[in-house]
Chains A and B, each alone.
Chain A
Amino acid sequence: MRVALFVTCVNDTLFPDTGRAVVRLLRRLGVEADFPHAQTCCGQMHANTGYRDEAVRLAKRGVAALRGYDAVVVPSGSCAAMIREQYPRLAGPRGPFADAVARVVPRTYELTEFLVDVLGVTDVGAYFPHRVTYHPTCHSLRGLHLGDRPLTLLRAVKGLELVPLPGAEECCGFGGTFALKNADVSAAMCADKARAVLGTGAEVLCAADNSCLMHIGGMLGRQKSGVRVMHLAEILCATETAGVR
């Protein structure tokens, strides 16, 4: 099976630890992922802000970079949802772009989908002795319908104490450019989310999206809360011998 890692521009640029964690985790599970260098950004920011033409150009680049693989692993719920939900709409019904999208879309998996559905693993052999809460990001929850997959994986992590997050299904208020365009509402939503996280007493907040974590973590950091945010992949990659990184 030829597996491509679509690391996403946010992880590539700001959170390389997440990308490294995915590579190491997959290697531990016997999968050598490839990193197609032509990949940049899925185009979600442009599409969702109303810049359709730019989004189409980036989507074309994206599918061209990812073609020919049996599976594409994406450590981001929202970028995976962008490819799966919006690419077909951007491509339209016919033409070479539509054909390329039709080939890539059914092979695109968010990380936990790939682990649970494709590899059939729920215990990845991780060790992470901390109190952790999980925020199901909107696109993981309502776009991809990840359901219990992330929680099943977390429950199997040795030493990890999973605590439920009250109001988990509520948006953290990131929403890409929404965080700038409607900064006051975004911050109000984030403040409520941060309060819910603090209420759990967790040391670590994790999610399948670093963009949402950057948002919640940005506020938790500003509040000097001491709560750390981590991508799910980094927890799943951690072992007794290797530590977190």
Chain B
Amino acid sequence: MKINLKVWRQKSSNATGKLVEYQLDNVSEDMSFLEMFDVLNDSLTRKGEDPVTFDHDCREGICGMCSMYINGRAHGPQTGATTCQLHMRSFNDGDTIVVEPWRARAFPVIKDLMVDRTAFDRVIQSGGYVSVNTGSAPDANEILIPRSIADEAMDAAACIGCGACVAACKNASAMLFVSAKISQLAILPQGKAEHKERAERMVAQMDSEGFGACSFTGACSVECPKSISLDHIARLNREYLGAQLTTENVQG
């Protein structure tokens, strides 16, 4: 296949970026989208031009590192898949594909298609855990958890932290990401003890990172490569409201 690319190039976080056009002539439809970028980078290097910088690692849809905004959609046209799982058979010969980085104030561009997502780490650090030290756990089967609860917690825990939800949101809200963790731990008995502080702290940290407000359009869930449900945002709202009404307010 022949593919025309328009790729966002930006030398560094302070530099001005622009879309640059490239043409690839020998693209196989069995290639993954990232392998197509490998081919592009190989040809750029041979020509003596700087290759395109992009995040990627496991290339099997689980590490959450890849992050391309393809033709106006986070991770491209396929639903329920990351960029690395997108194959060129999803495109047609002669297509023009526009590739940009995640766009959000809380995710500044580092270079080309690579952005800084450490804001997500700081949100988790603010409360996305159960406070249990190594060695102090009871026998695993002493905590009985009905299968339906375990399954629901697992649905939330499947989040890979890629940031597609933020990129897809017109407000660059991180509610789906934050709610997935809050929901997982709110459903499980292990997370109950700290659920109020957790909701307050994580929401406060999310706000201070510069993520936008949630207007519940649902774009995040549609674009989420793990199809995390909007139900979790509803649960976050309930958790947060409950915490606000019953505990001292914790800020940041």
A and B: bona fide binding partners: no
Q: Which residues of B contact A (CB under 8 A)?
A: none
